[in-house]
């Protein structure tokens, strides 16, 4: 049963008058996807100039690879704008990439060795080189294949008016507004770590992969065909040891007790040497292979399912800007792409995240012990690898519990927060989303991962099905008219971004080594 941190606050925000403050929630999406050739191979072409500069464009950039696009929506308190804007980005982008496609799934298409996965090139400036060298370092550390996996990040924050009302209802023990916000965001993050296994169960859509992804390594996956490996009950191989996690940072200890210990852990990590990374070398015969030989090159290398964030201020590093300015928003990172949507994202994903995050905020959130951390990791492992197994159990306080019972209990606990948001917006969208998603608990075949396996079976393999979806999505996006106003908006940003990079390149001063040293100062 749900234990509230402050019952008065729950009652306060459930009333029609006070719930309106929740309309100030700010959301944004970051969606990654691979560019592939018409026949489904990883694109070897450079980022199209018609898309603008990936170094300076506000909405269209790349992540690790030159072929791994990243679409970013501006933060907005309009709950509908992120998806609307993401659709505009897709409509514009598919018209600029010729006969190439946007891969529909999180796990990549057929890929060759590392040499066939081009690192994103951001130009000759120190700023551009920094981004390139960081990515080359990721390739040396974790392999380039891991960097071709795509996902969705959901950025989310509550308005100051909400926090002020919370402080009034609950008391703050003499804390400032910023101190209170920081503490509550970290409490939310800890609870998210406890319950985030719900996300890969409900939205995971990567139960199968191309054989080329594992490069001949032995895995526990089964062979579906000569080109497809799968796990029969898996939900999200992307979030398994086979995918993006890869146990690469298993020994890295980063606590979410509070902002201070979190940022101190990241600071230690970017300054603590690692023997394996030292063996790779940093600057070798004039070539930079990585930014440093420490546990992390930069703070963003730390892989976590959720992270506290603040918009950069005066070029400050992430840990430093958090210490200086506090938590501005949180970044949720566990969503697979929705392979059945041309956008890779759907409204249920966002609605569910809103409800889950509110529940995590209001629920009591003790510090996570070493035992509980091990349980949280084990529960996520079970769900991503065996989530649809009829006998699945989860660990709670060293005891095994039936998955469906635990999941339904959390849905019960989320119900008042769906109602709270419905009251704020004057509709039933959140309650309807919960009701729809709850059906997936009783019926694992209703999950996206099950649908993906059915499609792979019907089409003769994962690659064939994902390729077919990519072709269908491009056709649908091209068939949807792009208004002249939206096209002008994106053309203008394209030109602005190209001019901005040209200025950065022209005004570049100092050596790259000096630039790197200033970053760590």
Q: Which class is 7-520 in CATH?
A: alpha beta
Residue pair 126/508 in contact (Cβ under 8 Å)? The answer is yes
Q: How far apart are CA 357 and CA 331, in angstroms?
A: 11
- Report the distance separating Cα 122 and Cα 114, nearest Å: 19
Nearest to 88 by CA among 474, 483, 473, 471: 483
Q: What is the pTM of this model?
A: 0.96
Instruction: Round to whole Å and give the CA distance between 521 and 510.
Output: 16
Residue 385 tokens, joined: 């690898």
Residue 250: CB partners within 8 Å, gap ≥ 6? none
User: Tens digit of pLDDT per residue, the chain (521 long)?
Assistant: 455 566 667 888 888 888 999 999 999 999 999 999 999 999 999 999 999 999 999 999 999 999 999 999 999 999 999 999 999 999 999 999 999 999 999 999 888 899 999 999 999 999 999 999 999 999 999 999 989 999 999 999 999 999 999 998 887 778 999 999 999 999 999 999 999 999 999 999 999 999 989 888 888 899 988 889 999 999 999 999 887 654 557 678 899 999 999 999 999 999 999 999 999 999 999 999 999 999 999 999 999 999 999 999 988 999 999 999 999 999 999 999 999 999 999 999 999 999 999 999 999 999 999 999 999 999 999 999 999 999 999 999 999 999 999 999 999 999 999 999 999 999 999 999 999 999 999 999 999 999 999 999 999 999 999 999 999 999 999 999 999 999 999 999 999 999 999 999 999 999 999 999 999 98
CB 270 within 8 A of CB 296: yes
pLDDT at residue 244, rounded to an integer: 63
Residue 403 to residue 387: CA distance in whole angstroms: 9
Residue 330 three-state SS: strand
What's the sign of the alpha-carbon dihedral 477, 354, 28, 143? negative
SS3 112: coil
Whether 27 and 155 have beta carbons less than 8 Å apart is answered as yes
Q: How many CB atoms lie within 10 A of CB 74?
A: 12
pLDDT at 5: 62
CA–CA distance, 472 with 193 (Å, rounded to integer):
36
Residue 210 near residue 228, CB atoms below 8 Å: yes
Domain ranges (residues) in the chain: 7-520
Tokens of 169: 């209802």
Cα–Cα distance measured from residue 401 to residue 500, given in angstroms and rounded to the nearest whole number: 56
Per-position DSSP letters for 98-121, written without gaps between them: TT-EE--SSS-SB--SGGGSPBP-
Phi/psi of residue 223, nearest 5 degrees: -90, 120
- The alpha-helical segments, DSSP class H, found in 171-313 are 177-195, 198-203, 259-269, 275-280
């Amino acid at each position: 049963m749900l234990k509230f941190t402050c019952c008065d606050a729950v009652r306060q925000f459930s009333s029609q008058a006070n719930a309106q403050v929740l309309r100030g929630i700010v959301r944004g999406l970051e969606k990654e996807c691979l560019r592939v050739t018409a026949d489904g191979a990883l694109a070897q072409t450079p980022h199209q100039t018609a898309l603008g500069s990936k170094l300076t464009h506000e909405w269209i950039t790349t992540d690790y690879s030159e072929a791994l696009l990243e679409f970013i929506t501006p933060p907005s308190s309009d709950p509908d704008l992120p998806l609307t804007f993401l659709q505009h980005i897709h409509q514009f982008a598919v018209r600029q990439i010729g006969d190439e496609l946007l891969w529909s799934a999180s796990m990549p298409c057929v890929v060759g060795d590392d040499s066939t996965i081009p690192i994103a090139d951001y130009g000759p400036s120190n700023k551009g080189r920094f981004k390139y060298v960081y990515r080359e370092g990721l390739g040396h550390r974790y392999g380039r294949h891991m960097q071709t996996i795509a996902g969705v990040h959901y950025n989310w924050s509550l308005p100051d008016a909400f926090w002020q009302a919370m402080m009034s209802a609950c008391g703050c023990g003499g804390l400032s507004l910023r101190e209170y916000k920081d503490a509550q965001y970290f409490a939310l993050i800890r609870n998210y770590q406890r319950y985030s296994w719900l996300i890969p169960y409900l939205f995971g859509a990567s139960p199968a992969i191309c054989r080329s992804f594992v490069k001949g390594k032995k895995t526990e996956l089964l062979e579906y065909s000569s080109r497809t490996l799968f796990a029969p009950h898996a939900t999200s191989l992307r979030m398994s040891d086979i995918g993006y996690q890869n146990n690469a940072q298993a020994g890295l200890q980063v606590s979410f007790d509070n902002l201070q210990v979190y940022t101190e852990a990241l600071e230690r990590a970017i300054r603590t040497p690692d023997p394996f990374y030292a063996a790779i070398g940093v600057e070798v015969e004039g070539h930079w292979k990585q930014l440093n030989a420490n546990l992390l090159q930069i703070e963003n290398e730390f892989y976590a399912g959720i992270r506290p964030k603040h918009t950069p201020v005066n070029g400050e590093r992430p840990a430093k800007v958090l210490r200086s300015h506090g938590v501005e928003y949180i970044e949720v990172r566990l969503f697979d792409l929705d392979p059945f949507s041309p956008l890779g994202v759907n409204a249920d994903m966002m609605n569910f995240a809103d409800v889950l995050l509110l529940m995590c905020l209001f629920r009591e959130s003790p510090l996570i012990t070493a035992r509980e951390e091990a349980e949280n990791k084990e529960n996520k492992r079970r769900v991503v690898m065996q989530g649809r197994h009829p006998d699945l159990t989860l660990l709670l306080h060293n005891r095994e519990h039936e998955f469906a019972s635990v999941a339904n209990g959390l849905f019960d606990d989320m119900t008042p927060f769906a109602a709270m948001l419905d009251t704020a917006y004057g509709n039933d969208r959140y309650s309807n989303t919960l009701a729809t998603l709850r059906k997936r608990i009783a019926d694992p075949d209703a999950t996206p991962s099950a649908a993906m396996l059915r499609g792979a079976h019907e089409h003769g393999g994962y690659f064939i099905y994902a390729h077919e979806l990519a072709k269908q999505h491009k056709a649908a996006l091209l068939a949807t008219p792009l208004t002249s106003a939206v096209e002008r908006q994106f053309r203008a940003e394209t030109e602005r971004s190209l001019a901005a990079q040209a200025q950065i390149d022209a005004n570049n001063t100092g050596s790259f080594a000096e630039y790197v040293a200033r970053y760590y100062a």
